[in-house]
A and B are shown apart, each in its own frame.
Chain A
Amino acid sequence: IAGITQAPTSQILAAGRRMTLRCTQDMRHNAMYWYRQDLGLGLRLIHYSNTAGTTGKGEVPDGYSVSRANTDDFPLTLASAVPSQTSVYFCASSPSSGGSTDTQYFGPGTRLTVL
């Protein structure tokens, strides 16, 4: 089934631990995105990738890193988790290589709690 998968579905993490959220898409989309969603706030862009091999910083990149080794995968790493990173994380993708008005398609999300 075509779409975006994310893992894990949810996670409780101790502060200071390292964590990687996984995102895989099988639609051969060029652009991929990581957002966080917090109550009362709009989706905020953490990092993005317009095409395999390139990444860029979004609105709230501090404390997060990404890589894009191939078209399908776009993992998000928290090097040393802090409680303020408690949030729901969504991965998304769109067909074109950035600079477009393409619709973004979202994965099911990862609910992360940092204690």
Chain B
Amino acid sequence: GQNIDQPTEMTATEGAIVQINCTYQTSGFNGLFWYQQHAGEAPTFLSYNVLDGLEEKGRFSSFLSRSKGYSYLLLKELQMKDSASYLCAVIDSNYQLIWGAGTKLIIKP
């Protein structure tokens, strides 16, 4: 079966750095997305990786290793507004989007 694993919950301190990991086992791979979802709101796009390596976008970076079936989202200079769930999703060989359950990130002052 297809599987995406993320930690259920993480806690970090305002101003710090946090890394949210995602491992996947899917039938084929055509790319990986990270979305942010604030409580009670819709998921919004953060990043897309299809090649190995690090993609940096402001305070957020996303890394992919296809050989290891692994990605992480790195958030720097954490702000209270970064408190949200972070969803990892993989496009499989049929171009279906397979979603992880999400990681709830709690930021403490």
SS class of chain A's interface: helix, strand, loop or mixed? loop
- On chain B, the number of residues with a Cβ less than 8 Å from chain A's Cβ atoms is 23
Task: Looking at the assembled complex, report how far the CB atom of A89 sits from the nearest CB atom of chain B, in whole angstroms.
Answer: 11
Given known contacts A99-B95, A103-B33, A40 and B43 CB-to-CB distance under 8 angstroms? no
How many A-B pairs fall under 8 Å by CB?
44
> Chain A interface: which size bin?
10 to 19
B91 CB contacts on chain A under 8 angstroms: 101
Interface of A toward B, CB cutoff 8 Å: 40-45, 58, 90, 98-101, 103-109
**In the A-B complex, the 6 residue pairs with the closest CB atoms:** A42-B99, A106-B42, A43-B99, A101-B31, A99-B95, A42-B101
13 contacts between A and B (CB under 8 A): A40-B8, A41-B101, A42-B87, A90-B43, A101-B48, A101-B91, A103-B33, A103-B48, A104-B97, A106-B43, A106-B44, A108-B41, A109-B41
Interface of B toward A, CB cutoff 8 Å: 4, 8, 30-31, 33, 41-45, 48, 50, 87, 89, 91, 95-102
